[in-house]
Chains A and B, each alone.
Chain A
């Protein structure tokens, strides 16, 4: 298995632009998680899905953030409009119930 695949690896965008981060979980995993990692706040859970259904989005910072999982093999995290304080590394992880497998992350820089 190729593991959890995230794209792009790096994204630099201007303030106000829309940003879409993508994630392909491991086949057969029924949980998918989006995390954000910053020096100041560490790893924060943004949202997670079970069987493609959002279960808990209480970590989504504000309405500018949205996440979808249209099928078992794909999820997106969208930020619109983006702001400099959104700069962070965003991780996707998937699980079948025994620990998480993380992707390599997307490093987002908003200038």
Chain B
């Protein structure tokens, strides 16, 4: 069964600093990978996704993620964090065996705090 590990429950960064959120997955084949962001009181919003091809994926809001098969990782990065990036971030892996990538397993989430 697929699984996702986000080892950092909570991260604090200064505004303007760079950010990297870690994600490791477990899946038997080439996974479909996603990053979502959730602001307080809101649903999850898709930041970016990886299905195949270029392993460096660009997303919205200046985020990017890199798929590294050898490390089973899909870390999210941003070169300069803004106060509005404070939110909870979820990594997710899609299950291709169920006829597509529709059954998605989410990580526990990483809560990002941005300080002035």
Q: Is the interface of A mostly helix, strand, loop or mixed?
A: strand
Chain A residues whose C-beta falls within 8 Å of the C-beta of B90 in the assembled complex: 43
Interface residues in B, total, Cβ within 8 A: 21
State which of A45, A55, A56, A91 has its C-beta within 8 Å of the C-beta of B43.
A91
User: CB distance A102 to B102 under 8 Å?
Assistant: no
User: CB distance B103 to A42 under 8 Å?
Assistant: no
Range class of the A interface residue count: 20 to 34
Q: Is the interface of B mostly helix, strand, loop or mixed?
A: strand
User: CB distance A42 to B41 under 8 Å?
Assistant: no
Interface residues of A in 37-74 (CB under 8 A from B): 42-43, 45, 48, 50, 55-56
State which of B49, B98, B107 has its C-beta within 8 Å of the C-beta of A98.
B49
Interface residues of B in 64-116 (CB under 8 A from A): 90, 98, 100-109
Residues of chain B at the chain A interface (Cβ within 8 Å): 34, 36, 41-46, 49, 90, 98, 100-109
List 12 contacting pairs A-B, 8 Å CB cutoff, sorted by A: A43-B106, A45-B105, A50-B102, A93-B44, A97-B101, A97-B102, A99-B49, A101-B46, A102-B43, A102-B45, A103-B43, A104-B42
Residues of chain A at the chain B interface (Cβ within 8 Å): 4, 31, 42-43, 45, 48, 50, 55-56, 91, 93, 95, 97-105
